[in-house]
Amino acid sequence: MGSVTTQLRASSSSSFTHSLAYDVFLSYRVADAHNNFTYNLHSKLLQQGIKTYLYRRGEEVPLPMLLKVIEESRVSIIIFTENFASSERYLIELVKILQCRESKKQIVWPIYYKVDPLDVRDQQDRFGEAIANHLCTFKDNIEKVLRWRAALTEATKLSGWYFLHGHESNFIHKIVEEISTQVLNAPI
């Protein structure tokens, strides 16, 4: 798939050129795609003309390729679900997304889908259990787990959306509106 050259504005008002393949990268734990929320969000973004990357259940995407897709996206949306932190792969994605936010001025928005942002920030409940398991698994590489913990905390400092219950369609509509404003109105 060919890349498009797009000009982005950094928050300092200076601009830079970067080759982008996608407008939006959706980071989510495939096994946690509750009630098709992520697939519905993806569909609505595509309907708005927003080129969005989503890998689906059963799709084998090598991690290096996935990290490249993150680099080639204008926006990353992290969908935190209760089991997000239990997988090394999604924590690696999270670290990469936050690195791209810093180095490439990528826009990053978290969505807390039926999880409390405080549980993510403080690694409590399922997030705490997952980190404790990673500490055991990676006892010879604690630095890796500490990076993941820091990334979880850092992500909660970003503006985003929180969904506990209600009408998902209204929630998705608000997200798509905001993303459309950022992506479709960005300078080219």
Of 71, 88, 93, 178, catalytic? 93
The answer on pLDDT for 18 being more than 70 is no
pLDDT per residue over 40-67, tens digit each? 999 999 999 999 999 877 778 899 999 9
Residues found in the chain: 188
pLDDT at 187: 54
Structure tokens at 49: 């003309």
pLDDT per residue over 68-101, tens digit each? 999 999 999 999 999 999 999 999 999 999 999 9
Does the annotation count 93 as an active-site position?
A: yes
Task: Answer for the pair 102, 70: CB distance below 8 angstroms, yes or no.
Answer: no
Residue of 98, 64, 77 whose CA lies nearest to 25: 77
Which residue did the predictor score with more confidence, 55 or 159? 159
Percent of the chain with pLDDT over 90: 76
CATH class of the region 24-182: alpha beta
